[in-house]
Amino acid sequence: MSTTPLDVLRRVFGYEEFRGEQEAIINQVVEGGDALVLMPTGGGKSLCYQVPSLVRAGTGVVISPLIALMQDQVDALRALGVRAGFLNSTQDYQQRREVESAFLGGELDLLYLAPERLRLESTVELLGRGKVALFAIDEAHCVSQWGHDFRPDYLGLSELHERWPEVPRIALTATATKATHAEIATRLNLDGAKHFVASFDRPNIQYRIVPKNNPQKQLLELLRTEHAGDAGIVYCLSRNSVEKTAEFLTQNGIEALPYHAGLDSRTRAANQARFLREDGLVVVATIAFGMGIDKPDVRFVAHLDLPKSVEGYYQETGRAGRDGLPSTAWLAYGLQDVVQQRKMIDTSEGDEAHRRRLATHLDAMLALCETVECRRVQLLNYFGQAAGPCGNCDTCLTPPEAWDGTIPAQKLLSTVYRLQHERRQKFGAGQIIDILLGKSTPKVQQHRHHELTVFGVGTELSEGEWRGVVRQLLAQGLLAVEGDYGTLVLTDGSGDVLGRRREVRLRREPKREPRAPRTAKKAVVEMPPEAAPVFDKLRAWRAGTAKEQGVPAYVIFHDATLRQIATAQPSTLEQLGGVSGVGENKLAKYGQQILDVLAG
């Protein structure tokens, strides 16, 4: 009895065709070869090991560090009629015994394991007594010591090949950099593996980076006008701002839960579980939140503070829109972010090389913020992938102007120079801008700054525009901040500007924030407006069913599937079975209920 991968895809998962390189990857593993897969979040990595596990004899063993998610992953598979189980530290002896005997009895298609379990001789021995179809190493970047998710237990996985030379291995990650890619291949001994590197573009995510003035208010505006009732994640740098922002949203009628390392683990787990299970909740979090959040319907990711690196930004924003539906990645960014991050680097522990690395990361992030080109092009170039302007980012939708800022830059730098050299004084951006604007504040009077020749020479720009100039000079390394008060000082590059040896190109912010049109190219399920009430009815039915079963809503059906049902309005089980995402098992289980909802 031989089933093909395509049979499994259609019958079990209810999908018509493979996406991108899924088919090639699956064939490689089905035939017993190793694979290393780099694919963005939402690209469809899970099927790459789930399908081969169902096609090959034996159990597919999935190694994953995300213990908290195993229950949901297994529930999702069981809902499809796949025989799945997991072994981790959250289970008691009896629960483990049941899974073990199912495995030994050949009654499991998939077995999820935490990496630390493989360190136990008893686990290795257990696997030795049963039949393993393949090893899938999920979140494979955890083997990289330089990455931020390093797990020592992952290093031990290099031994799988020696113990089970005939069992194919597939390592998967959504981390895109070349360095991590190479490190995974070496550390996991994947010499003979075929490498599959997908495009890291996420066409359904609309990237937007806006100047920060009143971040909470800006956020509220975004949520009210574009994401009412949507699930989303808001990232803040500090615990304190997490708490404050969650409170602010809640006071304004948006249900928001805080998540940070300072909360006790019970509260954290409860908030995460609610976010995964309920529709339309917002989590406000530090970056401690998110790894392996595979909730498919996160509609927006908002950053109220600047991420430390482009990798971080890409990972965090990547949690939006796994289901391929239009989603927003929104970042508010301002002068204070640059000041704060430069300061954090200066005071960080570690040697000079480490600080230089942090600075390089920050510079790349700043370059992304200040670009006048397509954000997506810049982002993909960073990962070594070429692309053309996307039409679905803020710079494509409302192109900012580039302008020659050499003269304002000279005025500003010479003010800093005069204070530093004529007065032996250093001041922050506020005072420098007051001087340029010729504002006679008490602080100006006190320091007799109105007597400087540069006093009042900068009235051609507004205060906000001057802040933009300072921010961009900092971003370009033509100005630096120092000390606890964020005082401005000159850099080597400043001399070139003052000496007229170099031009300064600046970005002028567009007057308005771009809104739709959301022209995400592929993978988007359009829904005509008249289908919306039907979709809401289906969502309500799904919420009730999910609650009854104690599983996340998306385990029952994904939004994308419900949208298609709402649009097609099938009247028979057969028609319903033709909708993408409705496999045999779900059709048998929920088909009639759906038809009843549609008829009712």
Cα 69 from Cα 67, distance rounded (Å): 5
Sequence-ordered list of residues with C-beta below 8 angstroms from that of 562, at least 6 positions apart, any chain: 535, 538, 539, 542
**Token digits for 556?**
């029952």
Q: Which is nearer to ligand ADP, 296 or 438 (CB)?
A: 296
Q: In the bound complex, what is the minimum distance in angstroms from residue 23's beta carbon to ligand ADP?
A: 9
Q: In the bound complex, what is the minimum distance in angstroms from residue 515's beta carbon to Zn ion?
A: 15
Q: Which is nearer to Zn ion, 201 or 297 (CB)?
A: 201
**Token digits for 551?**
């599983």
Question: What residue 585 binds from Zn ion, ligand ADP, none (CB within 5 to 8 A, per partner kind)?
Answer: none
Cα 168 from Cα 236, distance rounded (Å): 41
- Contact between 587 and Zn ion by CB under 5 A: the answer reads no
- Contact between 368 and Zn ion by CB under 5 A: the answer reads no
Sequence-ordered list of residues with C-beta below 8 angstroms from that of 352, at least 6 positions apart, any chain: none
Question: What residue 393 binds from ligand ADP, Zn ion, none (CB within 5 to 8 A, per partner kind)?
Answer: Zn ion
Cα 546 from Cα 524, distance rounded (Å): 25
> Site residues (CB under 6 A) for ligand ADP?
15, 18-19, 22, 39, 41-47, 294, 296, 322-323, 558, 580
Question: What residue 376 binds from ligand ADP, Zn ion, none (CB within 5 to 8 A, per partner kind)?
Answer: Zn ion
- Contact between 209 and Zn ion by CB under 5 A: the answer reads no
29, 48 Cβ separation under 8 angstroms: yes
Question: What residue 466 binds from ligand ADP, Zn ion, none (CB within 5 to 8 A, per partner kind)?
Answer: none
- Contact between 390 and Zn ion by CB under 5 A: the answer reads yes
Q: Which is nearer to Zn ion, 298 or 393 (CB)?
A: 393
Q: Strands (DSSP E) along 57-204, which ranges?
A: 59-63, 84-87, 110-113, 132-137, 169-173, 194-197
Q: Which is nearer to ligand ADP, 297 or 337 (CB)?
A: 297
393, 206 Cβ separation under 8 angstroms: yes
Q: Which is nearer to ligand ADP, 40 or 168 (CB)?
A: 40
Q: Where do the H-state alpha helices sit in 90-214?
A: 93-104, 121-129, 152-155, 160-163, 178-187
Q: Which is nearer to Zn ion, 277 or 376 (CB)?
A: 376
Question: What residue 39 binds from Zn ion, ligand ADP, none (CB within 5 to 8 A, per partner kind)?
Answer: ligand ADP
Please report, to the nearest 10 degrees, the dihedral formed by the alpha carbons of residues 578, 581, 582, 586 taken in order.
170
Longest alpha-carbon distance in the chain: 92
Q: In the bound complex, what is the minimum distance in angstroms from residue 260's beta carbon to ligand ADP?
A: 24
Question: What residue 42 binds from Zn ion, ligand ADP, none (CB within 5 to 8 A, per partner kind)?
Answer: ligand ADP
By residue count, the chain amounts to 600
Q: Which is nearer to ligand ADP, 42 or 486 (CB)?
A: 42
CA distances in angstroms from 482 to 13, 492, 494, listed in the order given = 57, 15, 15
Q: In the bound complex, what is the minimum distance in angstroms from residue 531's beta carbon to ligand ADP?
A: 20
Question: What residue 396 binds from Zn ion, ligand ADP, none (CB within 5 to 8 A, per partner kind)?
Answer: Zn ion
Sequence-ordered list of residues with C-beta below 8 angstroms from that of 354, at least 6 positions apart, any chain: 348
Q: In the bound complex, what is the minimum distance in angstroms from residue 398's beta carbon to Zn ion?
A: 11
Amino acid letter, 594: I
Nearest to 488 by CA among 409, 406, 423, 432: 432
Amino acid letter, 543: A
- Contact between 233 and Zn ion by CB under 5 A: the answer reads no
Question: What residue 223 binds from ligand ADP, Zn ion, none (CB within 5 to 8 A, per partner kind)?
Answer: none
- Contact between 594 and Zn ion by CB under 5 A: the answer reads no
- Contact between 520 and Zn ion by CB under 5 A: the answer reads no
Cα 80 from Cα 46, distance rounded (Å): 14
Q: Which is nearer to ligand ADP, 54 or 412 (CB)?
A: 54
Q: Verify cis geometry, omega within 30 degrees of 0, for the bond prior to 517.
A: yes
Cα 319 from Cα 316, distance rounded (Å): 6
Q: Which is nearer to Zn ion, 77 or 390 (CB)?
A: 390
SS3 at position 156 = helix
Q: Beta strands 401-404 and 505-508: pairing type? A: antiparallel
Element (H, E) at 11: none
To the nearest 10 degrees (0 to 180), the angle between helices 463-475 and 335-346 is 30
Binding test (CB under 5 A) with Zn ion, winner from 295, 319, 376, 563: 376
Q: What x/- string results for residues 393 through 412 when contact with Zn ion is judged by CB under 5 A?
A: x--x----------------
Q: Which is nearer to Zn ion, 297 or 394 (CB)?
A: 394
Question: What residue 294 binds from Zn ion, ligand ADP, none (CB within 5 to 8 A, per partner kind)?
Answer: ligand ADP
Residue with tokens 């970042």: 331
Span of 31-39, 51-59, 354-362, 375-383 interacting with Zn ion by CB under 5 A: 375-383
Nearest to 599 by CA among 577, 563, 573, 580: 573
Q: In the bound complex, what is the minimum distance in angstroms from residue 58's beta carbon to ligand ADP?
A: 22
Q: Which is nearer to ligand ADP, 242 or 582 (CB)?
A: 582
Q: In the bound complex, what is the minimum distance in angstroms from residue 109's beta carbon to ligand ADP?
A: 16
Question: What residue 14 binds from ligand ADP, Zn ion, none (CB within 5 to 8 A, per partner kind)?
Answer: none
Give the CA count within 13 Å in the CB-facing half-sphere of 249: 28
SS3 at position 259 = strand
Question: What residue 390 binds from Zn ion, ligand ADP, none (CB within 5 to 8 A, per partner kind)?
Answer: Zn ion
Q: Which is nearer to ligand ADP, 46 or 406 (CB)?
A: 46
Question: What residue 15 binds from ligand ADP, Zn ion, none (CB within 5 to 8 A, per partner kind)?
Answer: ligand ADP
Q: What are phi and psi of 282, to 5 degrees?
A: -110, 135
Q: Which is nearer to ligand ADP, 262 or 296 (CB)?
A: 296
Q: In the bound complex, what is the minimum distance in angstroms from residue 48's beta carbon to ligand ADP?
A: 8
- Contact between 374 and Zn ion by CB under 5 A: the answer reads yes
Task: Catalog residues that contact Zn ion under the rule CB under 5 A.
Answer: 374, 376, 390, 393, 396
